Amino acid sequence: MIDERLEEQASLHVLGALSDTEAREFKQKLRANLELQEYVARLSTATSALAGALPVVKPPRQLRAKILAQIAPPQKTVSLPDKKFNPLAWLSWSLATGFAALCLLLNVQDSHLQKTVGEQAQQISSLNQLAQSLSAATNSLQQTVLALQETNRLAGLRIAMLNSLIADAPKAIAVSLWDNEKQDGILVAQNLKTLPADKDYELWVMDENQNPVAAGVFHMDQNGAVRVEFKPSRAIKTAGKFCVTEEVKGGVASPTIKNLMLASN
């Protein structure tokens, strides 16, 4: 079915009066409509006949505008006022953009600063805990030293600090007092981790040849602390390092190196 609008477009198409866009749209409709194709063919035949019978006349300039006006009402065109360069407006826009960028930068820096402060606070907390542990160990050590002074055993006493070697008990620490003349000593430890029921801590003393000599097993209290007197299983000419391992209950004759818990420098 060809409506009145299609007939008008077909007439303009035959006359070549359609714009490029209108011509493309009409050709799409023409390819899909057989009835429209027949109508355009008839118009073309009639137009050709008229063209041959009538003298060539140049159409007036206003013809195309009138035809287009009949097809669709003209759209109202509103002219925008010419914008002149306004330095104040440009400066305001630049300042706003710069302020937004500054806010973003400050926000990123603030987040980074908060993260840094949080990490430092955590480190300070860990140092405070370690200081408390050292203070507790020092107090216990001072009591031991006072007791040794009373018995005139302080001369020739070797003091060694044992540090943690395991990740799950980083704050564990111990201090050993070794009397080479008496061949015995005292161990004070803090923040030891709890062992299974079938395990014990075992203390070792390195002799002059760096061979480990068993110095007995020990157990900590519920707070992870211990103060125990020890004596190596054999005489030691000169004590070197001191270390603690985790062993089966009752201890072993040779230390299990992979289970090394504490060691002195």
- Output the CA–CA distances (angstroms, integers) from residue 93 to 84, 86, 96, in the order listed: 16, 11, 5
The span from the CA of 121 to the CA of 127, in Å, is 10
Q: Provide the residue-wise pLDDT of the chain in tens; the chain has 265 residues.
A: 677 787 777 777 776 767 888 888 888 888 888 888 887 787 676 555 544 444 555 556 665 666 666 665 555 555 555 555 555 555 555 666 665 666 666 666 656 666 666 676 666 666 566 556 656 655 665 666 566 555 555 556 788 889 999 888 888 999 888 998 899 999 999 999 999 999 999 999 999 889 999 999 999 898 899 999 999 999 998 898 999 999 999 999 999 999 999 999 8
Q: Which helix (H) or strand (E) segment is 246 a member of?
A: strand 242-248
Distance CA 121, CA 76 (A): 69
pTM (2 d.p.): 0.45
CA distance 95 to 72: 48
Q: What is the distance between the alpha carbons of residues 215 and 187, in angstroms, rounded to a whole number?
A: 11
State the Cα–Cα distance between residues 234 and 211, nearest whole angstrom.
12
Residue 96 CA to residue 206 CA, distance in Å, equals 72
